[in-house]
Structure 1
Amino acid sequence: MIEPDHPDLSIGQQCKLLSIARSSFYYTPKGESDQNLGLMRQIDEQFLETPFFGVRQMTWHLRNDGHLVNEKRIRRLMRLMGLMPIYQKPNTSRPAKGHKTYPYLLRGLRVDRPNQVWCSDITYLPMRRGFLYLVAIMDWHTRKVLSWRISNTLEADFCVEALTETIHKFGPPEIMNTDQGSRFTSFAWTDRLRRSGVRISMDWKGRFLPSHGLQANHCKAVDNIFIERLGAP
């Protein structure tokens, strides 16, 4: 909103008109320190080995490796990386406020053919200077990744782009199953599915997958393993 080369108003005058501090205009985010990026790399490597590690276990692990860290710091870094341990706990996938959620449709359903059910999830890719986010759409029956997109933000747009490409290539599935994360409960995502005649299914706590004797969180872990392998070294 501020024009540095405005012919009549200085930067200070523009800041005053907008009721913001002049220092805010010149502020440049520093990003994570090299130390925190190193910790994030170690957290990432350990989490792939022990995806059930929460903040407390991860903190203990890093302390045993000689890092002077506290739970508050590790909680912030794990949240920044989008890591949530695999165990039963409430509200692990919250929709954004005002977003509609949909019932889980796969209970008792036999998934026995391609394009019957698709699933989608988001994971992160560790980079030298931070992380990118990967969304992948997979056919539930074949476990084939049908399309994927990478983004440096968690906006819903890159998810919808991947969905649109997949429908264009393979035609719409009968059911799309996701978690209740804000990208998948967004209007852009659900509207694209509804306009294609796709039934929307969303995971909920304690559900069971068809033809499996595993609880939701365990099966969610299996689905994530397929997708996370795309970003594994």
Structure 2
Amino acid sequence: KKNLDLSHKQKLLLIDRTNREISISHQVDLLGISRSSVYYEPVVNEYDLLLKRLIDEQYTLTPFYGSRKMTAHLRRNEHPVNRKHVQRLMREMGLEAIYPKPHLSQPHPEHKIYPYLLRDVSIDRKDQVWAADITYIPLARGFMYLVAVMDWWSRYVLAWQTSTSLDTAFCLEALEMALQFGKPEIFNTDQGSQFTSKAFTGMLKDNGIDISMDGRGRCMDNIFTERLWRSLKYENVYLMHYESVSEGRQGINSYFGFFNDDRLHQSLKYQTPAEVYFQRAS
């Protein structure tokens, strides 16, 4: 038996239920986890899922709503919730209002925060600035998180990945996929722990990319990805009501194909992001 330096979640992913030579009992013994955890299915709180969907829809429209206003909004729509309940749900969703707040929590001492480099910068070419962001995706019986990497000049979505938890791994996967297209001069993100991690910033620095980070609570510093989320949700997610993670992933893959190759953008003189990024004639 080896002492693998893996999280419990990562060990669960190594379980091969189709392996006829090594039983599940033997696999969990080798990995050092309990058999019951393999078969555990978390209890889904249907009402919390409904509240999260409503919070997500309202936050997409009004990202300046904090927990007080969101609580008032839900109560006006006949959902008698208290603020602590809403705060917990928004925290699980990774949401906060965009206005700056006093007494901000200090970042992790091992996570360096980089300055915002894009104020008054004219974006006039592809691969000048890329940006990444994470959003919450509601599902009929659950939820997932989505990260996307976008070229600011063309609005082309270079890569995306989904996850059922707010870990760093799926953000690294998206970054690795995006770097297959080339390298930007500047890479912009918010100050989320996934993006301030040594693994993520290290990959950027290893590729000679300047790192830029939004001010805390300032989604307008990353306005193009915020517009991407609004388009995705109102043109696809809220209309399709995806049942499962796999169905949601398939639908989002299809939408981004449409967004890149077929969706006309007024700001791009009615060209598609792919036409602008790859400089194709429309």
Q: Same fold (TM over 0.5)?
A: yes
Q: Which moved more, 1:178-187 or 1:105-114?
A: 105-114
Instruction: Give structure 2 stretches of 5+ with no counterpart.
Output: 4-23, 27-35, 239-282
Cα distance between partner residues in 2 of 1:199 and 1:154:
24
Secondary structure (helix, strand or coil) at the match of 1:191 reads helix
Question: Which residue, 195, 199, 205 being the options, matches 1:188?
Answer: 199
Tell me which residue corresponds to 1:75: 87
Structure 1 gap ranges (5+): 7-23, 207-215
Query: AA paired with 2:97?
Result: P
Rounded to whole Å, the distance in 2 between the matches of 1:196 and 1:26 is 39
| Structure with more of its chain in helix, by fraction | 2
1:126 corresponds in structure 2 to 138
Out of 229, 235, 238, which is 1:227 matched to? Answer: 229
User: What TM-score, normalized to structure 1?
Assistant: 0.77
1:71 and 1:27, CA in 2 relative to 1: closer, same or farther beyond 3 A? farther
Aligned residues: 209
Q: CA deviation at 1:147?
A: 0.9
Q: Which residue in 1 is equivalent to 2:164?
A: 152
Q: Is the 8 A contact 1:52 1:86 kept in 2?
A: yes
Counterpart code for 1:175: I
Q: Secondary structure at the match of 1:74?
A: helix
Task: Flag the structure with more relative contact order, 1 or 2, with Cα contacts below 8 A and sequence separation at least 6.
Answer: 1
* Residues 153 and 194 of structure 1: CA distance in aligned 2, closer, same or farther (over 3 Å): same
Structure 1 stretches of 4+ moved >3 Å: 24-32, 90-97, 216-223
Aligned partners of 1:177 and 1:201 also within 8 Å: yes
> What TM-score comes out, normalization by structure 2 length?
0.64
Residue identity in the other structure for 1:193: L
CA-atom RMSD in angstroms:
3.2
Q: Percent identity between the aligned chains?
A: 49
* Partner Cα separation in structure 1 for residue 92 and residue 194 of structure 2: 16
Question: Using the alignment, how far apart are the partners of 1:94 and 1:161 within structure 2?
Answer: 27
One-letter code aligned to 2:228: F
Structure 2 residue identity aligned to 1:226: L
